[in-house]
Amino acid sequence: MTLRIQIAQLNFLVGDIEGNTEKLLSTARAARGRADAVIFPELTLTGYPPEDLLLRSDFIARVEQALQRIIDEAHGVHLIFGYPLQRDGQLYNLAGVVRDGELIAEYRKQMLPNYSVFDEKRYFSPGSEAVLFPLNGVQVGLSVCEDIWEPQPMAQAVTAGAELILNLNASPFHTGKAPEREQLVQERARQHGVPVVYANLVGGQDELVFDGGSCVADGQGELVRRLAFYEEAIALVEFETGDRLRPLPGEVAAILSEEEAVYGALVLGVRDYVCKNGFNGAILGLSGGIDSALTLAVAVDALGANQVEVVMMPSRYTADMSNEDAAEQARILGVEHRTIPIEPAFNAFLGMLEPEFAGRPADVTEENIQARCRGVILMAISNKKGRILLTTGNKSEMSVGYATLYGDMAGGFAPIKDVPKLLVYRLCEYRNRLSPVIPQRVIERPPSAELAPGQKDSDSLPDYAVLDPVLERYVEQDQSPTQIIAAGFEAALVERVVGMVDRNEYKRRQAPPGIKITRRAYGRDRRYPLTRGYWTPLESER
């Protein structure tokens, strides 16, 4: 005898309760006669994370209505899916089981994550009990996402008699996350001698990308199934029943390299942010530099060339090779492109400000005016055409404030804001291995903002090969300057970099949202006060 469980690794829209419900029911109808049960991701009906929508009584009431509709309409197959509802006067993150007009089981998530991008304790109360239900003679235990990261919930379920664990997930991507969670699933299965089905969400939601990669481990902890990353997938997993439940081996999708995983996250994140928010496409400024080159490649892969346009906006300081390389990449990718020089706008601003600037030497002010001229042009086109403006700044620049407020930071979405500069280079080389779309000269030439004669990034910043490792330790690992210096970095360099990071929090707070790909992204992940009396004690620590 066999047990057939279908994993529905699907992309749900946060807040679209009716649309998500219809997607669930459509999947259920297709599964009748093929599967005994279908397992969906965490908070299926609301999407994840619904954040403060959960505080609205009308929102919760619509979830209740959706649940009742599913109970009324779902027949012929067990549906295991997630939703938030009030029980005993408290709001819970629930996993319910519906079959033939009945809610036959309901599990309350026990482990509520409250770190990094998660703040579930703001909304939910924790459950405390295991919940099992029978499926073709097999006792099945339920768990939700974080429950698998802690030992207690699965141990509790197995002690209660569970022969199989179903885990509903909304596990967001960061580098190294997929292998980490897979190993955890395998370890839990091995510890208890019970198979685990891990169903993950896929799709982009604001800063977060859910990468899919749902998997199944047998009772010996061996991985027997893995679904593809970054795409919707429905997979049927068959189990042999008898003395010991055993999942039959099936397709195991390839694990991705770091560059493949990050690039896939960027593409999916851009596609879902643009499409789910109803934009007609995207626009960006193409400078001939490596950051805008990567952003353009991602945008075209996400949306298609016909949904992307670029504007080259040369100034008196723009090198001929920058114009040539930008035009060449636009031609290769087949995107609409035009050139709008900023010299007339720049001269107009200088003329208007001449009385204010009298007697003062030229400095970064004039550089920022050029960036803001470009920002005005791009935002005007964005407004007129309904296309979102993608900014092109990377994490290294955002960290140290090497960006202009209301200039190159102006826009609606920042695809590479969490991508360090050295990784930008690796991603460009990776994309060119698939097909050459970024001129090699863009990758090889020294980076420059081209806002002053002969300018290079290295005039204002440490070399990226030195800067990025310091930023990783200070921003992502929360190491103190003393710890970074003890690791072998020059004290003066560390003091300079840390000072720039601390001083530029106000800029980052005004930046558009962007895709999280590291363990510690700016925004909802790394949160520092703008006004504070504490500054990193550099001198006193030495």
The pLDDT value recorded for residue 539 is 46
User: Which CATH topology does 260-457 take?
Assistant: Rossmann fold (3.40.50)
Comparing 448 with 382, which gets the higher pLDDT? 382
The pLDDT value recorded for residue 209 is 97
Active site residue 421: no
Q: How confident is the model over 428-487, as pLDDT tens digits?
A: 999 999 999 999 999 988 877 666 677 677 777 889 999 999 999 999 999 999 999 999
Reported as type and span, the H/E element at residue 142 is strand 138-144
Active site residue 109: yes
Q: Where in the chain is the domain with CATH 3.60.110.10?
A: 2-256
Q: How confident is the model over 336-369, as pLDDT tens digits?
A: 999 999 999 999 999 999 999 999 999 999 999 9
The pLDDT value recorded for residue 540 is 40
Choose, from 23, 109, 417, 516, the residue flagged as catalytic.
109
Would you list which residues are annotated within the binding site for L-glutamine? 115, 171, 177
Least confident of 25-34, 243-252, 522-531: 522-531
d(CA 210, CA 208): 7
Contact 253, 227 (CB under 8 A): yes
- The residue written with tokens 């198979």 in the block is 195
- The residue written with tokens 């190491």 in the block is 479
376, amino acid identity: V
Contact 142, 80 (CB under 8 A): yes
Q: How confident is the model over 12-39, as pLDDT tens digits?
A: 999 999 999 999 999 999 999 999 999 9
d(CA 442, CA 431): 13
d(CA 181, CA 436): 34
Percent of the chain scored above 70 by pLDDT?
97
Least confident of 114-118, 247-251, 415-419, 422-426: 114-118
The mean pLDDT value for 316-344 works out to 91
Residue 83's pLDDT band (cuts 50, 70, 90): very high
Angstrom distances, CA of residue 398 to CA of 315, 414, 417, 508, 534:
23, 11, 7, 7, 21
Mean pLDDT (the chain, rounded): 93
Contact 296, 310 (CB under 8 A): yes
The pLDDT value recorded for residue 452 is 67
* DSSP secondary structure code for residue 446 in this structure: P
Choose, from 23, 42, 120, 417, the residue flagged as catalytic.
42
Query: For residue 106, what are its two tokens?
Result: 């309901």
Contact 398, 467 (CB under 8 A): no
Angstrom distances, CA of residue 15 to CA of 32, 283, 540:
27, 27, 50
Residue 523's pLDDT band (cuts 50, 70, 90): confident
The mean pLDDT value for 384-391 works out to 97
The mean pLDDT value for 80-109 works out to 97
Would you list which residues are annotated within the binding site? 115, 171, 177, 285-292, 368, 392, 397, 507
CATH code, residues 2-256: 3.60.110.10
Q: How confident is the model over 286-314, as pLDDT tens digits?
A: 998 999 999 999 999 999 999 999 999 99
Active site residue 23: no
Residue 538's pLDDT band (cuts 50, 70, 90): low
Enter the pTM of the model: 0.94
Task: Provide the edge-to-edge strand list for the sheet that holds 196-199.
Answer: 132-135, 138-144, 164-168, 196-199, 215-217, 223-226
Choose, from 23, 145, 146, 373, the residue flagged as catalytic.
145
Residue 418's pLDDT band (cuts 50, 70, 90): very high
The pLDDT value recorded for residue 322 is 84
Contact 158, 502 (CB under 8 A): no
CA angle 392, 328, 397 (to 5 degrees): 20
Would you list which residues are annotated within the binding site for deamido-NAD(+)? 368, 397, 507
The pLDDT value recorded for residue 530 is 85
The pLDDT value recorded for residue 447 is 74
Would you list which residues are annotated within the binding site for ATP? 285-292, 392
Q: Where in the chain is the domain with CATH 3.40.50.620?
A: 260-457
d(CA 493, CA 497): 6
The pLDDT value recorded for residue 449 is 65
Residue 542's pLDDT band (cuts 50, 70, 90): very low
Q: Number of helices (H) and strands (E), helices first, in the chain?
A: 17, 19
The mean pLDDT value for 416-421 works out to 97
Residue 317: other Cβ atoms inside 10 A: 16
Residue 16: other Cβ atoms inside 10 A: 15
The pLDDT value recorded for residue 120 is 94
